[in-house]
Amino acid sequence: MAVLQSCLYLVVLLSVILPAAKSLRNPAMRLRFGKKGEFKILQVADMHYGDGKATPCEDVLPSQLASCSDLNTTAFVRRMIRAENPDFIVFTGDNIFGFDATDAEKSLEAAFGQAIASNIPWAAVLGNHDQESTLSREGVMKHIVGLKNTLSRVNPSEVNPIDGFGNYNLEVGGVQGSAFQNKSVLNLYFLDSGDYSTVPGIFGYGWIKASQQFWFQLTSAKLKRAYMSKPLPQKSAAPGLAYFHIPLPEFSRFDASNYTGVRQEGISSPTVNSGFFTSMVESGDVKAVFTGHDHLNDFCGALNGINLCYAGGFGYHAYGKAGWPRRARVVVANLETTSNGNWGTVKSIRTWKRLDDEHLTAIDAQVLWSKTSVGG
């Protein structure tokens, strides 16, 4: 009996110690604007990481084939971090290519290795290929949450159960020492757009479900109330950005006359429209959506006040187009200055892309949202 009691005590003790140890590995990191009133986000889409050096590249020039592998993807992440010095990094799914990753945990750690080493806060959502290796979809997200410096979460506690894994939000506070240091002046939403339809008779990719939309609506309303309450009550919601993998059906509403960037393949959205775009329009706070999935599209266009943006293919073990450089998207939010010279709320949100060429060429700079353009 004494031995049994000792074993039970050990189990209980470990159940307390292990989660605490994991939380100590990732101490609470508060995202906030820097002293120059700027917050910069690097988006990395579709790394398709496999087994590292042993995993060959796809769709590159013949001269690149012999020496090209997952390590080229790693090098590109490292170059982007050094060039842009972002405040936050977001990985928008298909982080690993499950079929070619023999050990999902090792592949995930290698894929996110440069972000981990940089000590820059980062977050990830899942694509449709992340769970095709040795971990389930839930297992992949749980492993990501345990990695160093990540702000990723498995799921919110407010809505349970909720579809998918990796639905969460992060708040970005104002400049330390400013009047807005304790308010979230920029809100980030992350959602699991699924992998493939499991509904009989409906084929194709997954979609954002009703339970996720309900969570988004609750969260958006809560953040809006906080922003419009004392101290320093504001007249409208703080701007928000949404990140997930599979594009919405509304991405197909654009043609060459109303977007910036290129559209070189079809829009691989779900065959059903679950209405999430309408939910975002109704919420009134989301100013831009950022996805991956379609590697040869990197355009960004505005629809009903929301910018729908692709990042463009990043990874070298992902399909691409030989001679068309891999690329990453950068988003920067800037604060306005108040009458007394202090930092206030978000004034503008801009974006551009960088190519993995000799000079990391920046292209397609555009303003996604400006406070003055909507009447202040």
Write out the DSSP string of 28-89: ---EE--TTSEEEEEEE----B-SGGGSBPSS--HHHHTT-BHHHHHHHHHHHHHHH--SEE
Asked, for residue 81, whether it belongs to a domain, the answer is yes
Quickly state the pLDDT bin for 12 (edges 50, 70, 90).
Answer: very low
H/E run at residue 188: strand 184-190
State the pLDDT at residue 307. 98
Asked, for residue 26, whether it belongs to a domain, the answer is no
The one-character DSSP state at 89 is E
Bridge partners of residue 333, in order along the sequence: 39, 349
Residue with the bigger pLDDT between 29 and 279: it is: 279
Number of domains in the chain: 1
pLDDT > 60? residue 374:
no
| Residue count of the chain | 376
State the pLDDT at residue 18. 43
| Pairwise CA distance, residues 168 & 292, whole Å | 18
Residue with the bigger pLDDT between 150 and 28: it is: 150
The SS3 assignment for 219 reads: helix
Asked, for residue 31, whether it belongs to a domain, the answer is no
Asked, for residue 376, whether it belongs to a domain, the answer is no
Domain that holds residue 290: 38-370
CATH number at 329 reads 3.60.21.10
Tell which residue, 166, 165, 185, has the closest CA to residue 175. 185
Cis status, amide bond into 161, omega within 30 of 0 = yes
The one-character DSSP state at 143 is H
Asked, for residue 361, whether it belongs to a domain, the answer is yes
Lowest mean pLDDT among 6-10, 24-28, 343-347: 6-10
β-strands 286-291, 306-310 pairing: parallel
| Pairwise CA distance, residues 16 & 289, whole Å | 38
Query: Residue range 308-324: average pLDDT?
Result: 98
Asked, for residue 15, whether it belongs to a domain, the answer is no
* DSSP codes of every residue in 125-136: E--SSTTSSSS-
Both tokens of 141, joined, read 């997200």
Asked, for residue 17, whether it belongs to a domain, the answer is no
pLDDT > 80? residue 292:
yes
Q: What is the pLDDT of residues 193-243, one digit of tens each?
A: 999 999 999 999 999 999 999 999 999 999 999 999 999 999 999 999 999
> Can you list the alpha helix ranges (DSSP code H) found in 66-188?
70-84, 104-111, 113-118, 137-145
Asked, for residue 100, whether it belongs to a domain, the answer is yes
- Average pLDDT over the chain reads 92
Query: Residue range 300-311: average pLDDT?
Result: 98
Quickly state the pLDDT bin for 373 (edges 50, 70, 90).
Answer: low
Q: What is the pLDDT of residues 109-139, one digit of tens each?
A: 999 999 999 999 999 999 999 999 999 999 9
Query: Residue range 341-368: average pLDDT?
Result: 97
State the pLDDT at residue 339. 83
Q: What is the CA radius of gyration of the chain?
A: 21
State the pLDDT at residue 14. 42
Using a pLDDT cut of 90, give the percent of the chain over it.
Answer: 88
